[in-house]
A and B are shown apart, each in its own frame.
Chain A
Amino acid sequence: MQNVKADDKDLKKLEAEARANSTPSSFKLMFNEFKSDKMAMISLILVVAFILYVMIASFFINQSSMMSTNIMNYFAKPFTPDFWLGADAGGRSIAKQMVVGSRNSILIAIGLTVISSAFGIAYGLISGYFGGITDLAMQRVYDFMMIIPAFMIIIEIVNIIPHYNVISLTLLLSMFYWMGTSRLIRAQTLSESNKDYVQASKASGTSTLKIIFKQIMPNVSSLIIVDTTISFAENIGVETGLSYLGFGLPVGTPSLGTLIANANDADNITTYWWTWLPATIEIILLCLAISYIGAVLRRSTNATQRRSTK
């Protein structure tokens, strides 16, 4: 009994030593990188806080009253108690539209990122793992998707669908924005599937699905995290761009893009700058912060560029 206990203790000690000497996991590396880079930490906290703020604050805003026109407040000036950021031509509060619009834009961007990344990752993993004919066929589909004028096709489809909403728009966009991720994951999977552990696993009869999703995927996970973060910043641009052109969310549903679209009017752009400038600045800051986080994550996965030591 005594012996067993001693063995346990030794084992624990050995394990602790092994852990201390091993290379840290990619999550740990990412965390360390954030700890050593103050700007990155601030960006991360601000982005998360901002997203939480718009999600929660939008619950307290009555959307139908927010979007109803009130001629009395026609182009109300900003920095007044009732209208912190002024009002648009319909007398609607820009600040409230910003909150709800940001929530809509961010939700679509999150949905788009999750769906398109999941598809792109699976596509890349399968294409890279099987190689040969499967890869060839799947890469032809990829080539085809790359030449499609995505934005124009999306605009056409938006015109065909009679009633679309946040969900259908997200699904529609997801169909056209998975290619970059798939290419990246495919390249990594190709090199990964030649490694010994995959060969050994194959030889010992592990099921293909298990090899792909339980063995290879964890090994490309850091790449996935980096790519997803960067896609998120890009996807904010996709939705807002579409809404800016007038083909995103239906009329009456604010988004950052529809707010910036106020700049399409020459009067607005020169005189009533508050109708579009705040949303523009918000997108710039948000995208910069998110891609900065992505850049730091990428650096943490690349040993030669890492700032933090272990």
Chain B
Amino acid sequence: MWKTILRRLLIMIPEIIILSILVFILSKQLPGDPFTGSINPKASMGQIHHLMKINGLYDPWYQQYWNWVVHLFHGDLGNSYEYQEPVTAIIGSRAVNTFWLALLTMIMTYAIGLPMGLYAGRHEGKLQDALVRIYSYATMSIPFFVVLVIGGWIFGYDLNLFPTSGSVSPNATGFLPVLLSKFYHMILPATLGALFATSSITQYLRSGVIDAKNSNYVKTAQAKGVSMKNIYKHHIMRNAMLPIAAFAGYSITGLLGGSLFTEQIFSYPGMGLLFLNAVNFRDYTVMTALVLLYGFLSLLGTLLSDVALSVIDPRIRVE
């Protein structure tokens, strides 16, 4: 098992290095420089050139890359062009919001997906199963952002049940009201995100239950006279659910990808919205840092899932 983890980690290293080089080169291709308009609007071209030179921006790319990596290891991703603050501080404040929204979405996904998958698997081939299948099929076909737009319109604007922007109400003061207000702001985007993300969990669990139902250990338990209720509780559920738990890591990638849309539609101040604003304001340092962070997180998510899967099911151990 440790060998598997070690091997995965070793594979990760070149992946991160290549991703960072790619991100770095892309950021160098972006038009603009970090100084124009930032130090003093009246600064002359000569002064800017001088600054570029002092800061090593005319050095060959590998030297610049090396400097950038050294700074990266010191937690320094440069300053935002737009806010004139360290990038790490800006991202840090937004990352908290994205983290909570992603966590709630994941909880909701499992809360909706698990019962549905179990229910469908248990009633395989019947009407209940067909209904769940139609639902999964519909959520898999319709693009994510369309679901968010329609959901936001119906429940946010039309029925006015949920807020449609921000992460906390400006009127909320005190610990508990702020907490509740934050939760209230997250419910709609998290639920819509979860409704969309359940289909894969549901399908996976459904086939897991069906497989388990036909397995020998269930037949043995049945022959020994264990009630169906107990068989489901102790045998089928446990075996069908373990791999599902391991999928949490993979869903991180999906959640991050979806955060661009969720946060845009609900004007939710997280990393996705920060990225879109950074693109519009050509705030390249922030853009670059976020792309790298998203890539790193999805790598971490994949690693977690792979390791968890190999722990749970030795058959899937990565060769």
Contacts and interface: CB of A to CB of B under 8 A. Distances in A.
Contacts of B110: none
Interface residues of A, number: 42
A263 B149 contact: yes
B177 interface: no
Given A147-B15, A241-B143, A269-B153, A152 B137 contact: no
A266 B153 CA distance: 10
Main secondary structure of the interface of A (DSSP, over half): helix
A222 interface: no
Interface of A: 140, 143-144, 146-153, 155-157, 159-160, 233, 236-237, 240-241, 244-247, 260, 263-264, 266, 269-270, 273, 276, 280, 283-284, 287-288, 290-292, 295
B11 interface: yes
A144 B14 CA distance: 9
Interface residues of B, number: 46
Contacts of B287: 152, 156
Contacts of B290: 152
Interface of B: 11, 15, 18-19, 22, 26-27, 29-31, 137-138, 140-146, 149-150, 152-153, 157-158, 164, 253, 256-257, 260-261, 264-265, 275-276, 279-280, 282, 287, 290-291, 294-295, 298-299, 302
A289 to B, nearest CB: 9
Contacts of B137: 291-292, 295
Contacts of A155: 275, 279
B156 to A, nearest CB: 9
Main secondary structure of the interface of B (DSSP, over half): helix
Given A269-B153, A290-B141, A147 B299 contact: yes
Contact of B30 (A159, A237, A246): A159
B146 A284 contact: yes
Contacts of B294: 149, 152
Nearest to B261: A241
A227 B303 CA distance: 27
Given A144-B15, A153-B291, A269-B157, 7 more contacts: A149-B256, A157-B26, A237-B144, A283-B143, A284-B142, A291-B141, A292-B137
Given A147-B295, A151-B257, A283-B142, A140 B279 contact: no
